[in-house]
């Protein structure tokens, strides 16, 4: 049985967005494939298990995870392979794996590049962009990118390796792709912040006062204000699924995305897509951002529901190709390749 140590800054039930969803599903599917999985992260030490997945949590700020190096080394020595996720856990995972003599991969959950400067004003944005560029130069045994566009951005930021493309999965349908209600609202979903483009949504909604918009998600410090034709709904899970069932058009004007999971969930629900996210979908890709183009693209689909319906059906067919089984198989193939290399072979347990 292959033993895998996952190191991330947060793990369910703690969450800051889609990255934690990917980390949780990655762990679940590795266990389903017969791997032994343990998670090391920051958080409440009293939480030692989630969905059958053993976790070791330490009451340290996630920005200070390097303080956990002794504990991470001990956990790495119990594993065959270390699987890191980006941001504050990545340097810790690399150091621990090298000391323990284990292979280590890094899954790039977030990659934003120059968009950091728009998301964080002043020096903060430039510092975060610099740290991101530095992390891309760390010598992991493989970097796992969620999409070709993410790997392209990494190369533009200085990543010099090959890297592997491993898309996450969408296995359970979130909403039936049936007939949408008359005058269906245009949907925005996710964190209600600048990176996701909530301010862009509000500007477009103000330019289209006759249309209804729904913004479903969450925000730090309370829900933000919005124009009168934007209904802001706090929630995830069932609230999000219900919103998908109502919508015929998803509008996501994000400034930066590594994968854009909500795009593919909306595609699976039979929505047409109007978005800046660099993904394959039927709808309108806004590149570069142009508020006038966004208004025209949304109007074309609300004025012609048949167009949105046709695009939604094509999108659903495309989304069906993404599965967690395929994603997990791809990761396991990378593990096997690394564990067969002479410098790692026989270092711990034999891979399956």
Tell whether omega for the bond before 13 is within 30 degrees of 0, i.e. cis.
yes
Do 67 and 139 belong together in one domain?
A: yes
State the helix-helix crossing angle for 261-268 and 18-32, rounded to 10 degrees. 70
**Is the peptide bond prior to 288 cis by the omega test (within 30 degrees of 0)?**
yes
Domain interval for residue 274 = 186-319
71-75: Cβ within 8 A, 24+ apart: 71/40, 72/7, 72/40, 72/96, 73/99, 73/100, 75/5, 75/38, 75/40
Q: Does residue 74 form part of some domain?
A: yes
Q: Rounded to a whole number, what is the largest CA-CA distance in the chain?
A: 66
Whether residues 313 and 329 share a domain: the answer is: no
Q: Same structural domain for residues 154 and 220?
A: no
Same domain, yes or no: 160 and 256: no
Q: Are residues 80 and 203 in the same domain?
A: no
* Residue reference for tokens 């120059």: 114
Q: How far lies 348's CA from each of 1, 261, 331, 352, in Å? A: 11, 35, 19, 12
Measure the CA dihedral 203/207/211/215, to 10°.
0
Cα(85)–Cα(6) distance, integer angstroms: 8
Instruction: Write the pLDDT tens digit of every residue in 112-153.
Output: 888 888 888 889 889 989 999 999 999 999 999 999 989 999
Comparing 219-223, 284-288, 305-309, the range with the smallest average pLDDT is: 219-223
Q: Give the DSSP per-residue string, 96-114.
A: HHHHHT--EEEEE----TT
Q: Is residue 345 part of a domain?
A: no
- How many CB atoms neighbour CB 301 within 10 A? 24
Same domain (yes/no): 312, 194: yes
pLDDT of 350: 42
Mark whether 231 and 114 lie in a shared domain. no
In whole angstroms, what is the distance from residue 109 CA to residue 260 CA?
A: 10
CATH number at residue 149: 3.40.50.2000
Does residue 50 sit within a domain? yes
More confident of the two residues 332 and 342: 332
pLDDT of 320 higher than 90: no
Domain count for the chain? 2
Domain shared by 109 and 36, yes or no: yes
- pTM for this one? 0.85
Q: Residue 348 falls within a domain, yes or no?
A: no
């Amino acid at each position: 049985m292959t033993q895998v140590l996952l190191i991330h800054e947060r793990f369910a039930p703690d969450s800051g967005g889609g990255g934690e969803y990917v980390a949780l599903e990655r762990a679940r599917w590795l266990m389903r494939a017969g791997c032994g999985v343990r998670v090391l992260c920051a958080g409440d030490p009293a939480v030692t298990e989630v969905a059958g997945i053993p976790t070791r949590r330490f009451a340290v700020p996630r920005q200070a995870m390097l303080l956990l190096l002794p504990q991470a080394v001990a956990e790495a020595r119990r594993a065959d392979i270390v699987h890191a996720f980006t941001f504050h856990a990545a340097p810790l995972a690399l150091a621990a794996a090298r000391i323990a003599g284990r292979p280590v991969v890094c899954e790039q959950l977030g990659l934003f590049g120059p968009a950091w400067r728009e998301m964080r004003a002043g020096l903060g944005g430039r510092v975060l962009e610099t740290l991101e560029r530095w992390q891309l130069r760390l010598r992991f045994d493989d970097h796992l990118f969620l999409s070709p566009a993410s790997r392209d951005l990494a190369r533009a930021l200085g990543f010099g390796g090959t890297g592997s493309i491993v898309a996450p999965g969408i296995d359970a349908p979130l909403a039936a792709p049936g007939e949408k209600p008359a005058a269906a609202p245009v949907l925005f979903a996710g964190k209600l912040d600048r990176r996701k483009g909530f301010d862009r949504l509000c500007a477009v909604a103000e330019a289209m006062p006759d249309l209804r918009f729904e913004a479903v998600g969450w925000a730090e410090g309370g829900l933000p204000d919005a124009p009168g034709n934007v209904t802001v709904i706090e929630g995830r899970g069932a609230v999000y699924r219900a919103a998908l069932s109502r919508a015929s058009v998803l509008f996501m004007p994000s400034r930066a995305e590594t994968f854009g999971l909500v795009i593919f969930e909306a595609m699976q629900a039979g929505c047409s897509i109007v978005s800046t996210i660099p993904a394959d979908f039927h709808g309108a890709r806004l590149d570069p951002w142009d508020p006038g183009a966004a208004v025209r693209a949304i109007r074309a689909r609300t004025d012609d529901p048949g167009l949105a319906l046709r695009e939604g059906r094509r999108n659903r067919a495309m989304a069906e190709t993404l599965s967690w089984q395929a994603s997990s198989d791809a990761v396991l193939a990378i593990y096997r390749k690394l564990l067969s290399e002479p410098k790692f072979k026989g270092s711990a347990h034999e891979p399956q």
